[in-house]
Amino acid sequence: MTKQDLINEVADTAGIKKGQAEKIINTVFNAIKRSLSEEETVTIVGFGKFGVIKMPSRRGWNPALKEKVIIPSRQKIRFSPSSVLYKEIHEKQLKKRKKDQASSNFVNYHK
């Protein structure tokens, strides 16, 4: 799903114009970006949690120069799905897997 797909879905579901939906989506995304840039955690109940974690500096290898290098510390954005979202997706995957297994176990004796 692209940003435009999301805008279209919000507009259709809410019964509003696409321009209004785009403004809403942009406002939500900007609020999330601002909070993350201030190293705040963004929690959306029933969906998940966005946060910033600090990755420490570490030793690495530059294969082009064939020498050891120090990779500087950095910040990384992390998303953790809520238990509700996790269960919903996991259940769909289990149902699909069971359906796939049932169809693959089918033996046609009437060829």
Q: What is the pLDDT along the chain (111 residues), one digit of tens a residue?
A: 999 999 999 999 999 999 999 999 999 999 999 999 999 999 999 999 999 999 999 999 999 999 999 999 999 999 999 999 999 998 888 877 777 777 666 555 555
pLDDT of residue 60: 96
Considering just the CA atoms, what is the radius of gyration of the chain in Å? 23
pLDDT of residue 94: 80
In the beta sheet, which residues pair with residue 74?
A: 55
Strand spans (E) along the chain: 42-44, 48-55, 58-62, 67-71, 74-81
pLDDT of residue 26: 98
